[in-house]
Structure 1
Amino acid sequence: MPEVKKVIAAIGLGGNIGNPRRTMARALKLLDARDDVSIRTVSRLYRTPPWGKTDQEWFHNACALVETTLDPHELLRVCLDIELQLDRVRTDRWGPRTIDLDVLLHGDFLSDHTDLTVPHPRMTERAFVMVPLADIAPRAVVNLQSVADWSSEVDSEGIEALTRTGDWWRDEA
């Protein structure tokens, strides 16, 4: 029987409707409960100003590294299914949401396809992605530069760490 290849992928999580911390914890637990995905590490939880559409509540954001046997498109489908389970409704681009799960990185996979771009487009411009990702993957390279370097270059004004560690999701109901 051929060995199934496991890949490390980075997932971005965010939300600003309801109880984002609890919803993000549920999303992580749903991912971790699968046979084909396991949570390796999670960043601290952050409170971040809205980006793009700024007339809305502040967000909670985090990133997770997962080990998976899913290909990038399958992982995206799993993330979209979890969003639906957690009452994600897509209305305004960059608008309020209960949960957002983005495939940021997937091993050394590169794609500029219409339904999945990896590395995630504009991630290096967004402090709400780069700051938590730097917690867990500072040496990862995106567009020829380390995540730590990208994180130090983005405007992180207003971003506040809400937890001291990445274990915050394990204790949420």
Structure 2
Amino acid sequence: MEHSVYLSLGSNLGDRFENLSQGQQRLAAHPQIVVQKVSAYYQTSPVGGVVQDDFINQAMLIQTSLSGEELLDYIHEIEAELLRKRVIIWGPRTLDIDILFYDELESDHPDLTLPHPEVFNRLFVLIPLQEIMEKDFIHTEAITEAIAKLEATTDQRIERVDKNDRIKP
């Protein structure tokens, strides 16, 4: 069975655009993953209180026959290949890939909480996600409401950027 999965990708170390590109390529190279849509790039301010450079973020919609756990394991392999270090929570990283939604599955498992527990609190996730959402996506209204609330109440910065601009962090 094919599953629809929304992912969030982010990078703020090294060549951020290249890190995202490498992540996309590795996802697409898996025989059980088909990339359906990829959002534009967005430069975003970090959240979580750790002083660090801005991120480049984007969202992806994939189809996969992998289970959520198998997909998460593969994502961790990709992050490790791109030298992601898990030292500081919400700290700098070469590549971070999060599973936002896996079909309509809900899970409280410590390794894979679905939907992602922070999805409705982060403009850097919601804006790219809104760009690629399917028209009949079950969370469309909640995402639209969360974006309006966050734009009115937070100082999270987000700006669409072109990778050819090569904006410095």
**Does the TM-score normalized on the shorter chain lie above 0.5?**
yes
Distance (Å, rounded) in 2 between the aligned partners of 1:135 and 1:15: 19
Distance (Å, rounded) in 2 between the aligned partners of 1:53 and 1:15: 17
The residue that corresponds to 2:5 in the other structure is 9
CA RMSD in angstroms comes to 1.7
The residue that corresponds to 1:113 in the other structure is 109
Distance (Å, rounded) in 2 between the aligned partners of 1:154 and 1:68: 31
Distance (Å, rounded) in 2 between the aligned partners of 1:35 and 1:26: 16
The residue that corresponds to 1:80 in the other structure is 76
Aligned counterparts, 1:53-68, within 5 A: 53-68=49-64
Q: Unaligned stretches of 5+ in structure 1?
A: 169-173
SS at structure 2 position matched to 1:141 = coil
The residue that corresponds to 1:171 in the other structure is none
The residue that corresponds to 1:158 in the other structure is 157
- 2:47 and 2:156 in contact (8 A); partners too: no
Superposed displacement of residue 55, structure 1: 1.1
Number of residue pairs matched by the alignment: 159
Distance (Å, rounded) in 2 between the aligned partners of 1:150 and 1:48: 17
TM-score normalised by length of structure 1: 0.86
Aligned counterparts, 1:1-173, within 5 A: 5-137=1-133, 139=135, 140-142=137-139, 145-155=141-151, 157-163=156-162
- 1:13 and 1:100 in contact (8 A); partners too: yes
Point out the structure with the larger helix share. 2
Q: Unaligned stretches of 5+ in structure 2?
A: 164-169
Runs of 4+ in 1 over 3 A off after TM superposition: none
Amino acid aligned to 1:141: I
- 2:10 and 2:57 in contact (8 A); partners too: yes
Superposed displacement of residue 65, structure 1: 0.2
Moved more, 46-55 or 89-98: 46-55
Indicate the percent of aligned positions where both proteins have the same amino acid: 32
Distance (Å, rounded) in 1 between the aligned partners of 2:47 and 2:134: 22
Deviations, residues 106-160 of structure 1 (Å, cap 9, x unaligned): 1111101111101000210111101110111165334x94323322322374210
Deviations, residues 55-76 of structure 1 (Å, cap 9, x unaligned): 1101111010001001111111
Distance (Å, rounded) in 2 between the aligned partners of 1:58 and 1:88: 16
Distance (Å, rounded) in 2 between the aligned partners of 1:54 and 1:91: 12
SS at structure 2 position matched to 1:89 = coil
Distance (Å, rounded) in 2 between the aligned partners of 1:33 and 1:70: 14
